[in-house]
Amino acid sequence: MNAILKKIQKIGIVPVVVLNDAKDAEPLAKALCDGGLPLAEVTFRTEAAEESIRIMVKKYPNMLIGAGTVVTTDQVDRAVDAGAKFIVSPGLNPKIVAYCLEKGVPITPGVSNPSDIEAAIELGLEVVKFFPAEQLGGLKMIKAMAAPYTKMMFMPTGGINAKNLNDYLAFPKILACGGSWMVSGDLVKAGAFDKITELTKEAIKLMLGFEVKQLGVGCDGSKMLEAMYIPVTLEEECVVISTNSMMRAVAYLESQGIVADMNTTKYEEGRLVSVELKERAGQCNSHDSACFQSKVVLVEK
């Protein structure tokens, strides 16, 4: 799979952004990054789209910015020239797909039926957008269509929100979900960027679903406290945190400066189920009379 698409998969949520004024681009980008979501699909529905992409890419170079609602080759050129790293279109236009692939730009075109998926396969695509998702039957429809097309991944968009996000992401054929509930036009127009950051944080929290399952605190090598919500077989003096998605949790934590020790990974049937974080829980410094530290282990729910 294309490296950009893999990065989108690790992030999990694609904010679909409509900007009517390029002045809102920078504060919106900041709001998303502050919320832990360094990704945006800026739709080409408005005249401000091209300049907005340019501003976001310049001001926040570590963000992954793409262009959505792209329906012409001219829009592809303008988006890419502005710095867009991926293209999303509402439907599957073979001309647009071929043009993007020739330029080496990943494109995720919209599909709504098996014929569209077969056309996408013929064009060499591995990921398609399912749009409008909820109106076309939602997750049930995706599961039905995914059965015969075992290598195809889907990015549903349209009607995705905080209530159904995790239902979609739990299905392994879902690359990521596109949504606008945390970046609605009304919030942008009102300049409510603090609210956008708040909603973004809530979306990340919901998606990852972190829960403490074991709390074991050590003091100078001796166990001082241990509480377990569920039986675990891990060694004592561990803080065990479970998550809905190991892949996305590791990626998110690393974006926050918390790195997983990949030498401690455990897999089941090719799936990552456990990893130790390099950062420990507790406190230990020269001013402490005792040293309280424990390993932190991330596990799959």
pLDDT at 220: 45
98 vs 257: which has the higher pLDDT: 98
HSE, side-chain direction, 13 A CA sphere, residue 99: 18
Do 172 and 114 share a structural domain? yes
Q: How confident is the model at residue 5 (pLDDT cuts 50, 70, 90)?
A: very high
| pLDDT tens string 160-198 | 999 999 999 999 999 999 999 999 999 999 999 999 999
Q: Where are the beta strands (DSSP E) in the chain?
A: 13-17, 39-43, 64-68, 87-89, 107-111, 127-130, 153-156, 177-179, 211-219, 222-228, 238-243, 260-268, 271-283, 292-300
- Domain ends where: 207, 230, 251? 207
Do 232 and 200 share a structural domain? no
Per the residue annotation, which of 10, 85, 129, 295 is the catalytic one?
Answer: 129
pLDDT at 76: 98
Do 41 and 119 share a structural domain? yes
% residues pLDDT > 90 (the chain):
80
% residues pLDDT > 70 (the chain):
88
Do 238 and 198 share a structural domain? no
Do 196 and 58 share a structural domain? yes
Do 159 and 109 share a structural domain? yes
pLDDT for residue 281 is more than 90: no
Do 180 and 34 share a structural domain? yes
* Mean pLDDT over each residue of the chain, to the nearest integer: 90
Q: How confident is the model at residue 16 (pLDDT cuts 50, 70, 90)?
A: very high
CA distance 87 to 66: 6
Q: Which of 54-68, 145-159, 229-243, 287-301 has the lowest mean pLDDT?
A: 229-243
109 touches 129 (CB < 8 A): yes
Following DSSP, what letter does each residue of 131-169 receive, concatenated?
A: TTTGGGTHHHHHHHHHTT-TT-EEEEBSS--TTTHHHHH
Question: Quick check: is 129 catalytic?
Answer: yes
HSE, side-chain direction, 13 A CA sphere, residue 137: 10
Do 235 and 107 share a structural domain? no
- Domain ends where: 207, 239, 273? 207
219 vs 35: which has the higher pLDDT: 35
pLDDT at 145: 95
| pLDDT tens string 83-133 | 999 999 999 999 999 999 999 999 999 999 999 999 999 999 999 999 999
pLDDT for residue 226 is more than 50: no
By the 10 Å C-beta count (0-12 exposed, 13-18 middle, 19+ buried), 293 is classed as middle
160 vs 232: which has the higher pLDDT: 160
Phi (first) and psi of residue 126, to 5 degrees:
-115, -15
| pLDDT tens string 26-76 | 999 999 999 999 999 999 999 999 999 999 999 999 999 999 999 999 999
Helix (H, G, I), strand (E, B) or coil at 81: helix
pLDDT at 269: 87
pLDDT for residue 207 is more than 90: yes
Residue 2: alpha-carbon gap to chain centroid: 15
Per the residue annotation, which of 41, 50, 134, 237 is the catalytic one?
Answer: 41
- Domain ends where: 181, 207, 233? 207
CA distance 231 to 257: 30
Assign residue 194 the CATH number of its domain.
3.20.20.70
Structural domains of the chain, count = 2
Amino acid at 195: K
pLDDT at 30: 98
**Of how many residues is the chain composed?**
301
Give residue 285's domain range. Answer: 211-300
pLDDT at 157: 95
222 vs 87: which has the higher pLDDT: 87
Do 31 and 151 share a structural domain? yes
* Angle, vertex CA 38, rays to CA 35 and CA 39, nearest 5: 120
By the 10 Å C-beta count (0-12 exposed, 13-18 middle, 19+ buried), 16 is classed as buried
For the whole prediction, is pTM greater than 0.85? yes
Do 203 and 91 share a structural domain? yes
Question: Quick check: is 59 catalytic?
Answer: no
Q: Which of 5, 48, 8, 56 is nearest to 32 (CA)?
A: 56
Q: How confident is the model at residue 216 (pLDDT cuts 50, 70, 90)?
A: low
Segment 262-282 mean pLDDT: 86
Do 177 and 47 share a structural domain? yes
Do 37 and 171 share a structural domain? yes
